[in-house]
Structure 1
Amino acid sequence: MTSPGIVVEGVRRAFGEVQAVRSVTLRASAGRVTGLVGPNGSGKTTLLLMLASLLAPDAGTIRIGGVDPVTDPHAARALIGWMPDALGAWNSLTSRETLVVTARLYGMPKADAAARAEVLLAEVGLMPLADAPAKVLSRGQKQRLGLARALVHDPQVLLLDEPASGLDPQARIDLRVLLRRLAAEGRTVLVSSHILSELEEVVDDAVFLLAGETVDPGRVAAASRRARTWRVRLAGAEASVAAPQVAVALRIDAAAAVVDRRDVLVAFDSDETAASALRELIAAGLPVAEFAAAQGSLEHTFLDLGSGVPPQAPPSPALPPTDLPTGPTSEGASE
């Protein structure tokens, strides 16, 4: 059984009369990637700030690798690699200098800091820009630099808020591979993202937040089991032509086979029912070119939990003052 790297029990946090986090209880295990899923305003960023020891909870307890970030923030920060959604950069420093300075702020000897910077620049694909000032980096390149800074002291717990924001498709693939490797090395990885298709590819577990509260696991399980829509595409046939053929083969009402651009949409109440339907389509001699869920399980579960729309990219939050070596926030070009 994997040990919990993050344990949160009954945590609450308010800002004046606004209850940002009402009741959050979760566990994120070492050696696994845990996704934090919720709409705007659900409390994800506030929770991450508390986990990073940048905000104190009004009630409840937090443990990071067994350490209380409220009573012993320095010990907690030694364990944490924190990547906020908009970390910014020191504009006058190069990417290499940024990482060296960050490592030095964590107490690393100069030679070790320089060596660590080289490793991380290669890891996140910034070696060609190692000596470019941070002010010329695009949004996605600054995200990669932010991830490198989060990793500079070899943390055991990673808190990543929208790490894929601004990344191009190849960089997102590289990020997924890196996160899976970091988890395989025994680290605890907690990722918040509004891009549910990206989370789907990388997470082992998911925690859902709605209105500042963690959703009961039983409710999540029930939502994930409800009927979802699948896409069917027949080779060489327009969807308007394929829809009645699909309906006849599956012995369903014609109205249940819905045309959506090039595809036919059909709802099935379980994965097993969908697998059986695929066998029936093939047995009927239909040239099935594509048969796939229209939504990933995370998005399907999220929508069923009641928000009705996928979460959208949140605005970059203003961070409170901190003595963590993060550097000043700055504006940069966007990809």
Structure 2
Amino acid sequence: MEAAIEAVGLSRSFAGVPAVRDANLRVAPGEITALVGPNGSGKTTLMLMLATLLRPDSGAVRIGGHDAVTDARAARAALGWMPDTLGAWPTLTVRETILAVCGMYGLSGAAAAARTGEMLALAGLEALADQRSNTLSRGQKQRLSLARALVHGPRVLLLDEPASGLDPEARLTQRRMLADLAARGVAVLVTSHVLDELEEVAANVVFLRDGRTEAQEDVDAALRQSTQWRLRALDEAALDAALGRRGIPATRRTSIGGAFHTVEVANDDEAAALLAALVAEGVRIVDFGPAAGALEQAFVQLAHRAVDPPTPAPDTPTPANPEVAP
């Protein structure tokens, strides 16, 4: 199957300082892929190149089967772009903003009005339709930004921090929306610092560090290495005693759900063996699982893995940069 989003050997520098270096990624139709990495790793620069808004120094980008450099118009017609911050037209209402975007994609009259109504409903903005966009809250602007990105029914969706500013209910709604879009064949690439959100919705992960994409086998291995696990038993004393007999140090913590213990294990096999041994010994375990999400633990492991000292890489281009792609 041809990739809906594909980057091969992408590189970009600013004033001689590399921001992205030989980055590679592939997203198939119907897949949701997370792009993660530390601050300053080059995620926004990479997303801007994928969105045809920044010309790469080298490498190739294809969006929806189109070369994003030599055929940017066709690539843009295939993609929906949601930036981290909504660039709103302050004098336009929410409805007028969506109507204006409809016009950019060739929709007018009754067709534009109907599509605007659909987008208002989809984003939960019907009650705010006649409010000026510059008066919206951060979360409301995020919903408007996503509605704008979906106006033309794109086959590719690029989302930069889409859940920022959303309340829990809105985040749940957004996750369901993305899952529905993927089920209809839309390829989604999403960045976020809320890793548990990404873990719930994404099927694949691309890790970017110092402008380079990590080898997929290294990412997959890190995702399997959940080293810190939490345990909760009906009898804390029995759990303490059983762990002590095995020489396993544990830390007791308290959360909203009650007291629990955390232990270090090498991998999933060791965790499964520990659980089996505790149950066989009669310890009544009621909660057992990774202390943090697999993606969060993989992020920490990959971000702190030893590398050669990097050259500082800005995560965003300077606004005055004249080399933005036409």
In structure 2, the residue matched to 1:172 is 171
Alignment of 1:114-193 (within 5 A): 114-193=113-192
| Contact kept? 1:242, 1:264, Cα under 8 Å | no
Residues 1:273 and 2:267 are matched in the alignment: no
* Secondary structure of residue in 2 paired with 1:4: coil
Report the AA paired with residue 109 of structure 2.
Answer: K
Structure 1 regions of 5+ residues with no counterpart? 309-313, 325-335
C-alpha displacement of 1:203: 0.3
> For 2:283, which of 283, 286, 289 is the aligned residue?
286
Structure 2 regions of 5+ residues with no counterpart? 306-313
**CA offset digits 1:203-232 (Å, max 9, x no partner):** 011100010001012222332343511111
| Contact kept? 2:45, 2:315, Cα under 8 Å | no
In structure 1, the residue matched to 2:250 is 257
Alignment of 1:206-245 (within 5 A): 206-226=205-225, 228-235=227-234, 237=236, 241=237, 244-245=240-241
In structure 2, the residue matched to 1:327 is none
C-alpha displacement of 1:316: 8.5
**CA offset digits 1:26-79 (Å, max 9, x no partner):** 111111101001001111100110011110000011111121111111111100
Alignment of 1:1-335 (within 5 A): 2-226=1-225, 228-235=227-234, 237=236, 241=237, 244-248=240-244, 251-254=245-248, 256-261=249-254, 262-307=259-304
For residues 142 and 204 of structure 2, the distance between their equivalents in structure 1, rounded to whole angstroms, comes to: 24
For residues 279 and 128 of structure 1, the distance between their equivalents in structure 2, rounded to whole angstroms, comes to: 54
Give identity over the alignment, percent. 50
| Contact kept? 1:102, 1:149, Cα under 8 Å | yes
For residues 32 and 152 of structure 1, the distance between their equivalents in structure 2, rounded to whole angstroms, comes to: 20
* Secondary structure of residue in 1 paired with 2:252: strand
* Secondary structure of residue in 1 paired with 2:67: coil
| Superposition CA RMSD, Å | 2.3
C-alpha displacement of 1:296: 1.4
CA gap 1:7/1:245 in 2 versus in 1, 3 angstroms = same
For residues 213 and 50 of structure 2, the distance between their equivalents in structure 1, rounded to whole angstroms, comes to: 15
* Secondary structure of residue in 1 paired with 2:173: helix
| Contact kept? 2:10, 2:20, Cα under 8 Å | yes
| Contact kept? 1:85, 1:316, Cα under 8 Å | no
Report the AA paired with residue 250 of structure 2.
Answer: A
* Secondary structure of residue in 2 paired with 1:221: helix
In structure 2, the residue matched to 1:332 is none
CA gap 1:246/1:259 in 2 versus in 1, 3 angstroms = farther
Q: Normalising by the residue count of structure 2, what TM-score does the alignment of the two structures yield? A: 0.89
For residues 223 and 295 of structure 2, the distance between their equivalents in structure 1, rounded to whole angstroms, comes to: 8
* Secondary structure of residue in 1 paired with 2:75: helix
For residues 266 and 325 of structure 2, the distance between their equivalents in structure 1, rounded to whole angstroms, comes to: 51
For residues 118 and 179 of structure 1, the distance between their equivalents in structure 2, rounded to whole angstroms, comes to: 19
C-alpha displacement of 1:252: 2.2
CA gap 1:60/1:266 in 2 versus in 1, 3 angstroms = same
Report the AA paired with residue 19 of structure 2.
Answer: A
For residues 94 and 307 of structure 1, the distance between their equivalents in structure 2, rounded to whole angstroms, comes to: 45
| Contact kept? 1:243, 1:258, Cα under 8 Å | no
Tell me the matched-pair count: 312
| Contact kept? 1:6, 1:27, Cα under 8 Å | yes
| Contact kept? 1:246, 1:257, Cα under 8 Å | no
Q: Is the deviation greater in 315-324 or in 75-84?
A: 315-324
Report the AA paired with residue 234 of structure 1.
Answer: A
Report the AA paired with residue 224 of structure 1.
Answer: L
| Contact kept? 2:8, 2:61, Cα under 8 Å | yes
For residues 302 and 225 of structure 2, the distance between their equivalents in structure 1, rounded to whole angstroms, comes to: 11
* Secondary structure of residue in 1 paired with 2:107: coil
**CA offset digits 1:9-37 (Å, max 9, x no partner):** 10100001211001101111111101001
| Contact kept? 2:226, 2:294, Cα under 8 Å | no
